[in-house]
Amino acid sequence: MSAIHGLRFGSDPTVGSDGRDVDIDLGATVDLSVPIVFGKPDSRAFSLPAATSAAVEAGSFVGDVRRGGSCNCETHHLTPHADGTHTEGPGHLTAARSPVRMSEPMCVALLVRVTPRPLGDVADDVSGNHRHDDLVVDDVSVRDAIDAAVQASTVAPWLPAPRALIIATGSGAARRQARFSGQNPPYLTVDAAIAIRERGFMHLLVDLPSIDREDDGGLLAAHRAFFEVPIGLGADTATDTDTDTDTDTDTQPLPRTVTELIAVDDDVAVGLYALFLQVAPIEADAAPSRPVIAPLRLSPRPIAAGAPS
């Protein structure tokens, strides 16, 4: 095994009473992304158009080496919300076209596994369209999964609270192949979304096409709960007259992100990881992204007091 233990993390003396280093194991990274593949007959979700790609043709130039071109050069047509792993920010919901940004290049993430339950079996709040046999990630399940994963972690005492929550609900192999359109896939209840936000998670990643129901009547209730974007927020930041200080647009939504259509292979253990979430630099409400996680392990090296890091 050729693990790389090259980085130190968590040596902040405020973290942990007697201080322990935590290593990021860069030799055991896991890529959670599901790639965009061009030329498929359909997209992955919402019955949206499939991603397409066409060689540029200009005069005598053709951007396809197979056709005699000097290089490959293609124009891509894609819909990030349906074609593969993508990340979105509050701008997904607002008239203000604020592009998605990942505010931190690396953060601590907690990976949990939750088996969705029938909505009729849980006590959570739901809005918009729903049926009692919808499968949902509910408040109690997500809280229990978070608590169990943290308690089982050997590195948790030495780290700041995780900033990202990764929820796996199904087989990674199946998720990579899945076509969710018309399947009414599982989704998060509003209560679950609120619980995740209130626990301080800024970034939420799921192996589902959306944290909301495929058709919830247009409310996007779980998105709104997590991003703290009520209907109408940001419709016009200059003329907004909302007097609710919680939601007034003089306080912009925090730079939370939601990443959807990931896949978590079955052998990836629950627990704490370093998350490197790279979002394509496209000025849009959502962009294709690549979440990569690396295990965190207690370092065998003790911290030397006062040693330069």
**Which residues contact Zn ion by CB under 5 A?**
81, 88, 260
Rounded Cα distance between 244 and 242, Å, is 6
Q: How far is CA 228 from the centre of its chain?
A: 16
Contact 280, 75 (CB under 8 A): no
Rounded Cα distance between 161 and 80, Å, is 30
210 or 299: CB nearest Zn ion: 210
**Spatial CB neighbours of 41, under 8 Å, sequence gap ≥ 6:** 50
Rounded Cα distance between 149 and 172, Å, is 19
Minimum Å gap between C-beta 214 and Zn ion is 12
Minimum Å gap between C-beta 81 and Zn ion is 4
152 or 282: CB nearest Zn ion: 282
One-letter amino acid for residue 21 of the chain: D
Instruction: Please give the helix or strand (H or E) that residue 67 lies within, else none.
Output: none
Minimum Å gap between C-beta 293 and Zn ion is 20
The residue of the chain with the least Cβ separation from Zn ion equals 81
Minimum Å gap between C-beta 232 and Zn ion is 20
Minimum Å gap between C-beta 228 and Zn ion is 17
Minimum Å gap between C-beta 71 and Zn ion is 33
19 or 128: CB nearest Zn ion: 128
Minimum Å gap between C-beta 154 and Zn ion is 34
Rounded Cα distance between 88 and 100, Å, is 6
Q: Phi then psi for 18, rounded to 5 degrees? A: -110, 5
88 or 138: CB nearest Zn ion: 88
Instruction: Please give the helix or strand (H or E) that residue 108 lies within, else none.
Output: strand 107-113
Contact 206, 177 (CB under 8 A): no
88 or 207: CB nearest Zn ion: 88
Structure tokens at 74: 């293609």
Structure tokens at 230: 């009520």
23 or 88: CB nearest Zn ion: 88
20 or 81: CB nearest Zn ion: 81
Minimum Å gap between C-beta 286 and Zn ion is 5
195 or 204: CB nearest Zn ion: 204
Q: How far is CA 59 from CA 62, 63, 68, in A?
A: 8, 11, 13
Q: Name the burial class of residue 157, with classes exposed (0-12), middle (13-18) and buried (19+) by CB atoms within 10 angstroms of its CB.
A: middle
